[in-house]
Amino acid sequence: MNDKRRRTRRSVVKGLGALALSASAGCTSTAALVSTPARPRAYSRKPWAAPNVSMDAVIRVVVGHRPFRPNGFRVERERLDDKTIVHNYGHGGGGLSLGWGSSGLAVREVGDLTPGAAAVIGSGIMGLCTARLLQDAGWSVTIYTRDVYRHTTSNVAAGEWGPFSTHDKSQVDAAFLARLDWAARVSHHAYTSLTGPRYGIRWLEGYVLNDKPFADSRRSSFDDLFAYRAYLEPGEHPFGNRYARRSVTMQIDPGTLLRQLTDDVYSAGGKFVIRNFETLDDVLALPEPVVFNCTGLGAAALFGDRDLVAAKGQLVFLPPDPAVDYLTLGGGRGLLYMFPRSDVLLLGGTFRYDDNSRNAEVAETERIVEEHRRLFASFGGPTDVD
């Protein structure tokens, strides 16, 4: 690893922190419900409910790899042989959140062309959103994909709407940050139009937890997109002796969203072709004159992108708990987050920069479960359980 990569790795690991991932039927929680005037709810009218967290409840452990570029996602048009190629990849932990906005940037790249036949490579969130926007603009779309949506990285995304962990702040300029802000706002607007069970999107309270008071009152240029923002002190919430930053945001069930978007592409006349692309020549042999590259990590080999690396994530699934209607980030040792999806209660997580390994690590599973058990034990009183 060269010096530049070492510096980038250190800055990425240091800077991402608890913002790293970037979502009912089942058993109900038997934990105590908490509802007192000192612990107000901002959005929900339900009492607080602590999820049951234990190793005995684990039903699945999932490993996924985020396509991360320290210098930010790539949306760019280029000419290769007789093909117009538009790249749309490298969104790190923010891919699900940025799907519509980044794809909007990509489709704008062909705004000067007469709509015709277009190929989209990849059926994750970027491929599906790009295809739908192209169809709305009058293009005939074929999606070429090695894996159907349920086997993509997008399908194992955690699911909170939060376009974070998308870049290393020391590696980007103002122009990229402006594009990120535009993409985030467009995507947020699109998702608010899709809320409901059909697309698997709902509004939830979110609590970022810290052992010390938060140093500032602003976390991003699109902070205004999060409703009910407030800073809470110990005693104003049930999370023990911690400080909390509260907001209300969207929770996305990736499987539901991707399944519905796939149906939408079909309904608009789109086609899917299962095909694996080994080389750039395979891409250039496609019959369509315009090709959108939404291959995620695959772009490293297909298009020689040396800036693109894998950021390994590990998720722990428990049975869903419909009594839990809030999400958490932080609150213990290492990267932690709890998202109450309709299909599972999801616990995370990890953000291993430049790690392509696919094995689920037992020690990581145990850490994630135990730290969340300790966190929600605080519902029983003001002090964490040892």
pLDDT of residue 344: 93
Say which CATH superfamily domain 74-187+254-308 falls into. NAD(P)-binding Rossmann-like Domain (3.40.50.720)
Q: How far apart are CA 248 and CA 231, in angstroms?
A: 13
Q: How far apart are CA 137 and CA 269, in angstroms?
A: 13
Average pLDDT, the chain: 88
Q: How far apart are CA 184 and CA 225, in angstroms?
A: 9
pLDDT tens column, 120-172: 999 999 999 999 999 999 999 999 999 776 556 566 677 899 999 999 999 99
Q: How far apart are CA 184 and CA 261, in angstroms?
A: 19
Instruction: Work out whether strand 140-145 and strand 271-274 pair parallel, antiparallel, or are unpaired.
Output: parallel
Q: How far apart are CA 243 and CA 208, in angstroms?
A: 8
Q: How far apart are CA 292 and CA 262, in angstroms?
A: 17
What is the per-residue burial (b if ≥16 Cβ within 10 Å, else e) of 234-260?
Answer: eeebbbbebbbbbbbbbbbbbbbbbbb
Q: How far apart are CA 183 and CA 185, in angstroms?
A: 6
Structure tokens at 205: 């309270």
Under-70 pLDDT residues of the chain: 1-40, 149-156, 216-219, 380-386
pLDDT of residue 217: 60
**What 8-state DSSP symbol labels residue 129?**
H
pLDDT of residue 380: 64
Q: How far apart are CA 385 and CA 168, in angstroms?
A: 36
Q: Which residue has the tokens 């891409």?
A: 283
- ω into residue 304 within 30 of 0, thus cis? no
Q: Calculate the alpha carbon distances from 6 to 3, 169, 178, 222, 275 in Å.
A: 5, 15, 27, 30, 36
Q: CATH topology of 16-68+203-250+310-380 equal to that of 74-187+254-308? A: no
Q: Domain boundaries in the chain?
A: 16-68+203-250+310-380, 74-187+254-308
User: Is 80 in contact with 284 (CB distance < 8 Å)?
Assistant: yes
pLDDT of residue 19: 35
First and final C-alpha spacing in the chain: 40
Instruction: Specify the 3-state DSSP secondary structure of 84.
Output: strand
**What 8-state DSSP symbol labels residue 150?**
G
pLDDT of residue 72: 97
Q: Which bin fits 317, alpha (ψ -120 to 50), beta or left (φ > 0)? A: beta
Q: How far apart are CA 369 and CA 55, in angstroms?
A: 7
Q: Is the CATH number 3.10.180.10 carried by domain 16-68+203-250+310-380?
A: no
Q: How far apart are CA 301 and CA 309, in angstroms?
A: 11
Residue 95: partners with Cβ closer than 8 Å, 6 or more residues away: 22, 66, 67, 124, 125, 126, 153, 154, 157, 296
**What 8-state DSSP symbol labels residue 158?**
-
User: Is 98 in contact with 120 (CB distance < 8 Å)?
Assistant: no
Q: How far apart are CA 322 and CA 190, in angstroms?
A: 26
Instruction: Specify the 3-state DSSP secondary structure of 60.
Output: strand
Q: What CA dihedral angle connects 156, 21, 195 and 136, to 10 degrees?
A: -80
pLDDT tens column, 331-357: 999 999 999 998 999 999 899 999 999
User: Is 151 in contact with 324 (CB distance < 8 Å)?
Assistant: no
